[in-house]
Every structure is written in C-alpha cells, then in structure tokens.
Amino acid sequence: MSEPIRIPAPDGVFPASQYTHVVTGTGRVVAVSGQLALDEHGELVGEGDAGTQARQVFENLRRCLAAAGATFDDVVKLTYFVTDMAHMPAIRKARAEHMPDDRLPAASAVQVAALVRPEFLVEVEALAVVPDNHAPSASGVA
C-alpha cells in the first residue's frame, strides 16, 4: 500500500523553506473553512495580538479536522489570510505547535485589506486528505 501523503520534490524549482511546493494524497478530501480567533463561545481571543489569535485559529483547525476524522498530519494545503505580512512569524510559530517543520503542507499567504471583522488579524483554511480507513467523529459530521 502506498503512503497516503507524499511530498515530491519538483525539479527546477527553488526549494521552499516555510511550506512545501507539492503535496499529493490518496483518500477522502476534507476542506476546512477559514478559521478565526473565536473561542467556543464566539468571543474574540487575542485582540490586537497576532500570535494569540493564530494559536486560537490553529486550535479551531485542530478541532475541525478531528470532527472529520483528520489530524494535522493529513493536511496537504493551508491558506493564510493576514491583514499584515508582519504577522507571519507569529503565525508560523503557532503552526509549529501543531505541524513539524519537516512535514509542511503546500501553502499560500495573502495579505488582505480586512477580514470579516476589523479586530481579526488572521484567518487560516485547510485542505486535508484522509486515508479511507479514518472515520469522522460521531459528533463532528452531519
């Protein structure tokens, strides 16, 4: 049986340091909508602090992935929406708490003029490929 997630190195492309150029997978696709720094009560976490917001965002992503029977090991793509690219080091630090640097997904980072509410500094969405033998949690998927 082949590996569910592969990271091929493309010839002729400068190596990436904070993401992976290409990630492939075999299994069930899980798309997680952009997550914001809201706690389980809908309250903002980390007003004015990109690092605190990013930690909450990654915790929300973890919970969403778990609801679909996935983990960060299954993530093949992250998309970051930030109001200031200066926030990226804090976001990378929060990501490192969940994903090792030697198994980074493909990624895109986009600076935006604003997110859905002005107090949000970062939003992250994820795409995962889950091996067919991983089932979603009973409470997570309708």
- The Cα–Cα gap between 114 and 59 comes to 22
Q: What is the dihedral of CA 83, 66, 2, 8, to 10 degrees?
A: 10
What CA–CA distances, in Å, run from 83 to 35, 42, 45, 50, 118?
Answer: 14, 21, 16, 10, 9
Q: Which of 4-8, 60-64, 127-131, 136-140 has the lowest mean pLDDT?
A: 136-140
DSSP symbol at 81: E
Taking the domain 24-130, which CATH number applies? 3.30.1330.40
Q: What confidence tens digit (pLDDT) does each residue in 47-61 have?
A: 999 999 999 999 999
pTM reported for the whole predicted model: 0.84
pLDDT by residue (tens digit) across 15-34?
Answer: 877 887 887 778 899 999 99
